[in-house]
Chains A and B, each alone.
Chain A
Amino acid sequence: MMGDISLSCRDIERYLGREEERVHALRGVSLNVEAGSLHAVVGPSGCGKSTLLYILGLLDEPDAGSLQIGSTAISHLLDEELARRRNELIGFIFQFHFLMEDFTAQENVMIPMRRLGQMNEDEMRDRAAALLKAVDLGNKLHRQSRHLSGGEQQRVAIARALANDPQVILADEPTGNLDTDNSQRAFELLANIVRERAKALLLVTHNHFIADACDWVHEMKDGRIVASHPHGQRISV
Chain B
Amino acid sequence: MTATFYIAVRFATHRKRALLLSLVGVVFGVGIFIGTQAQTQGFAQFFINSTIGSNGALTLRSRFQPRHEGLVVPTKNVNALPARRNYFEGIHNVSDIMRVSRQFSNVVACSPVLRGNVSARSGFEMTTVELFGIDPASHLRTTDLAKQILDGKFDDFTNNTSAVILGYKLADQLEVGCGDSIQLLSPGGEYWRFVVAAIARSGVGAIDSTRVYAHTRLAQRLLKKPYQASMIIYKLRDPERAPALATHFETLFQHASQSWQEREESTLQLFIMLRLSAAITVSLMILLAGFGIFNVLTMSVLSKIREIAILRSIGYRQVDISAIFLWQGALIAGVGSLLGCVLGAVLTWGISKVPIHIRGLLYTNHFLVVWDWRHYFWATVLAGIAVFIASYVPAKRAAQLQPVDTLRGSSL
Contact = CB atoms under 8 A, between A and B. Distances in A.
Partners in one complex: yes
B315 A88 contact: yes
A160 B310 CA distance: 11
Contact of B312 (A59, A88, A100): A59
B147 interface: no
Nearest to A111: B314
A45 B10 contact: no
Interface string B368-407: 0000000000000000000000000000000000011001
A187 interface: no
B398 to A, nearest CB: 14
Given A59-B312, A111-B311, A111-B314, A103 B10 contact: yes
Given A98-B306, A100-B307, A112 B411 contact: no
**Chain B interface, DSSP helix/strand/loop, else mixed:** helix
B3 interface: yes
A116 B315 CA distance: 8
A10 B314 CA distance: 24
**Chain A interface, DSSP helix/strand/loop, else mixed:** mixed
B357 interface: no
A84 B3 CA distance: 14
Contacts of A98: 306, 309-310, 313, 407, 410
B318 A79 contact: yes
B314 A94 contact: no
Contacts of A175: none
Given A45-B412, A88-B315, A94-B410, A54 B404 contact: yes
B407 A80 contact: no
18 contacts: A50-B411, A54-B408, A57-B313, A59-B403, A79-B317, A86-B313, A94-B411, A96-B411, A98-B306, A98-B313, A98-B407, A100-B307, A111-B311, A112-B315, A115-B3, A115-B315, A160-B314, A172-B407
Which range holds the interface residue count of chain A? 35 or more
Contact of A92 (B3, B6, B314, B408): B314
A83 B411 contact: no
Q: Which 8 A-B pairs have the closest CB atoms?
A: A87-B315, A114-B3, A83-B317, A86-B315, A112-B314, A92-B313, A102-B14, A98-B310
A173 interface: yes
A116 B6 CA distance: 14
Nearest to B406: A98
Nearest to B5: A114
Nearest to B317: A83
Contacts of B318: 79, 83
Interface of A: 45-46, 50, 54, 57, 59-60, 79-80, 83-88, 90, 92, 94-96, 98-100, 102-103, 111-112, 114-117, 160, 164, 172-173, 176, 204
A81 B101 CA distance: 70
B316 interface: yes
Given A46-B412, A98-B306, A102-B14, A115 B407 contact: no
Which range holds the interface residue count of chain B? 20 to 34
A95 B313 contact: no
B412 A83 contact: no
A75 B98 CA distance: 83
Nearest to A61: B404
B319 interface: yes
B403 to A, nearest CB: 6
Contacts of A172: 407, 411
A54 B405 CA distance: 10
B103 to A, nearest CB: 64
Contacts of B403: 59
B320 interface: yes
Nearest to A50: B411
Nearest to A54: B404
Nearest to B14: A102
Interface in B129-157: none
Contacts of B410: 94-96, 98
B411 A95 contact: yes
A26 B410 CA distance: 19
A172 B7 CA distance: 25
Contacts of B6: 114
A47 to B, nearest CB: 10
Contact of A173 (B317, B319, B411): B411
A90 B412 CA distance: 21
B407 to A, nearest CB: 6
Most chain-A Cβ atoms within 10 A of its Cβ — which of B3, B313, B408?
Answer: B313
Nearest to A114: B3
Given A54-B404, A59-B404, A102-B10, A115 B412 contact: no
A59 B401 CA distance: 12
A29 B408 CA distance: 19
B319 A80 contact: yes
Nearest to A46: B412
Nearest to B306: A98
Contacts of B310: 98-100, 111
A84 B319 CA distance: 12
